[in-house]
Structure 1
Amino acid sequence: MSHANLSDLKAFTLVAQQRSFQKAADSLGISRSSVSHALKGLERRLGVRLLHRTTRSVALTQAGEQLLQHLTPLLRDLDAALDAVSHGPEELAGTLRINANKGGARWLLEHVVPTFLQRHRHVELDLVSEGRLVDIVAEGFDAGVRLAESVPKDMVAVPFGGDVRFVTVASPAYIATFGRPATPDDLRAHRCIRQRLPSGKRYRWEFQRGTQQLALDVPGALSLDDNDLLVEAACSALGIAYVPQAFASKALKAGKLTLLLEDWTPPSAGLCLYYSCYRHVPAPLQAFIAVIRENT
């Protein structure tokens, strides 16, 4: 290239996507000053400003937006071409990092991971399960797993596992002592086991029947941060819990828990594996997605 080299263009793309010189430098394994020097050189050779920089933020100029729009598919196709010649379909290697919530990790371990690891023995799968929502690009993950409603709009989403349903449950002992709520508003007079999110906020229980929609910050003396613990607490008659049905299914079948407010908790869009639409999809991730689709 007469105006720019490939490394400078990749540096620009990462800064533009992540809005951070430091995050781009971490992704490239070089210093922040090297990234800054590369971007200044690129702007000088092109004769245009690509980025607006302040001490706190990075934003694209109109020229930067235009360049990013053209560069993204070109770099993705280039990486794909290099992958195609360096690895055969059964000779994938490297590390695949996926960040997932606990329910997503559980489903993948049951339905996808065994087949994937058997089929691609030279790939190391790093599956990180945590409750907090993370920036998968900034934290070095190839993909993430979350409920469809939590997937950022600039990500490509691959649904799996079908719809999910949150259910309201209590033990027969609790119902015998405190009664059964007939509507979500009745929960205000009950002992509820609340869930605290990783952000520190309490999760609001969401209900819907027809056109009616409610989101309640229910009362309760006990807050927990794990769905399995919520189920255990409900089985112990400590209160009413609100959890994904998959977590409560065994206790429901065993008669340890009873469904409440069934007509107020319809299914909703379930889990998705998601990844950046601005970055090349590595061959191991493509293979992982293929196994997901085989099981969906």
Structure 2
Amino acid sequence: MKQIFTVRQGALDGVEAFLSVARHRSFRRAAAELGVTPSAISQAVRVLEERIGAALFMRTTRSVGLTEAGEQFLLRAKPAFEELVAASEVARGLGQRPTGLLRLSVPRAVVPILLEPLIASFCEAYPEVEVEIAASNELVDLATEGFDAGIRLGQFVDADMVAVPLTPPFRLIVVGSPAYFAGRGRPEHTDDLRQHACLRWRRSSGALALWSFNDDGNAIEVAVSGPFIAHDFPTMLGAAVEGIGLAQLPEPMVAEGLRTGKLVDVLQPFAPVIPGVFLYYPGRRQVMPKLRAFIDHVKSHPAGQSNA
């Protein structure tokens, strides 16, 4: 049967006073070191001895020495207390300046077009912060998985999260390669997609995403079909460039393909506008300096507004 161990309330009371007296072999010098009265030190040690159930010091009018119990207590308590103080200093440092490990959960698609320039400039500006990027399309629980923040399209950020925009809103557009359109007509209306091979995206939930459109101000969703299913936008983009079918993708992702002629956009009048990409994190309280520094960097760095 599993045992549950807890530290009793007040279990550490008097330990610092004991260690100071043991170090100086003097209640008076211990009191001066800790900035309290000798009587306060004496009372703290007395309460500690009562709680332990053994005398820790031998006191005379001229000297203070350790009992055998005191020697054994010192042997274990001194390194443990020093480790506790060191742990407090490390935690205090993390809470006072940007330092430590910053873990971000991000979709693969945003890494090359958005995150790389931000990370490069951030690492240069804050050399004491280590940045870890977990590139995945899974919608993870930040707290459970140990992430400081995540990056996602706005429509996938939960309402209880604090969200910071990384890009302005942008369109979802339908694209295909010139090779795909060779010998076949281009769709003029969303109904025409029934005659086209459409590349589909499977969400982390397992469901196939519908294609979203704006038809005269009305938001509509269309179930498409085709020969290829991907689990992320970069894979869909590559398939579209290769001529496998049409893909609906965020406009910043396909900007280079459109510029070079590798892709052609269609159904422009029906392209919906989505909120954009956001950095998000749970709650406004206790934001660590490393994350606060990254948030401020995102807001001020021009890469946060690029390609969008």
TM score, norm. by length of structure 2? 0.65
Q: In the alignment, is the contact (CA less than 8 A) between 2:95 and 2:288 conserved in 1?
A: no
Q: In structure 2, which of residues 149, 154, 165 is the aligned counterpart of residue 159 of structure 1?
A: 165
The amino acid across from 1:259 in the alignment is: D
Larger radius of gyration: 2
The match for 2:278 is 272
Cα pair distance change 1:108/1:255, threshold 3 Å: closer
What secondary structure, in the 3-state scheme, does the structure 2 residue paired with 1:178 have?
Answer: coil
What is the CA-CA distance between 1:238 and the residue it aligns to? 1.4
CA distance in 1, matches of 2:236, 2:91: 47
Cα pair distance change 1:255/1:104, threshold 3 Å: closer
Q: In the alignment, is the contact (CA less than 8 A) between 2:108 and 2:234 conserved in 1?
A: no
Render the CA deviation track for 1:151-202: whole Å, top value 9, x for unaligned. Answer: 1111111111222321101122322322111111211121111112232221
State how 1:117-266 maps to structure 2 within 5 Å: 117-266=123-272
The total of aligned residue pairs comes to 221
**Identical positions, percent:** 34
CA distance in 2, matches of 1:209, 1:193: 21
The match for 2:108 is 102
CA distance in 2, matches of 1:103, 1:164: 15
CA distance in 1, matches of 2:3, 2:148: 22
What secondary structure, in the 3-state scheme, does the structure 1 residue paired with 2:275 have?
Answer: coil
CA distance in 2, matches of 1:288, 1:32: 42
CA distance in 1, matches of 2:126, 2:216: 47
The amino acid across from 2:162 in the alignment is: V
Unpaired stretches in structure 2, ≥5 consecutive residues: 10-88
Unpaired stretches in structure 1, ≥5 consecutive residues: 1-30, 42-81
State how 1:58-73 maps to structure 2 within 5 Å: none
The runs of at least 4 consecutive aligned structure 1 residues that moved more than 6 Å come to 82-85
Matched, 1:113 2:122: no
Q: In the alignment, is the contact (CA less than 8 A) between 2:173 and 2:250 conserved in 1?
A: yes
The match for 1:44 is none
What secondary structure, in the 3-state scheme, does the structure 1 residue paired with 2:109 have?
Answer: helix
CA distance in 2, matches of 1:222, 1:166: 19
CA distance in 2, matches of 1:142, 1:294: 20
Q: In the alignment, is the contact (CA less than 8 A) between 2:113 and 2:253 conserved in 1?
A: no
The amino acid across from 1:288 in the alignment is: F
Cα pair distance change 1:33/1:140, threshold 3 Å: farther
CA distance in 2, matches of 1:238, 1:121: 44
Cα pair distance change 1:190/1:279, threshold 3 Å: same
CA distance in 2, matches of 1:262, 1:83: 54
The amino acid across from 2:205 in the alignment is: S
Cα pair distance change 1:105/1:234, threshold 3 Å: closer
The match for 1:286 is 292
CA distance in 1, matches of 2:130, 2:170: 29
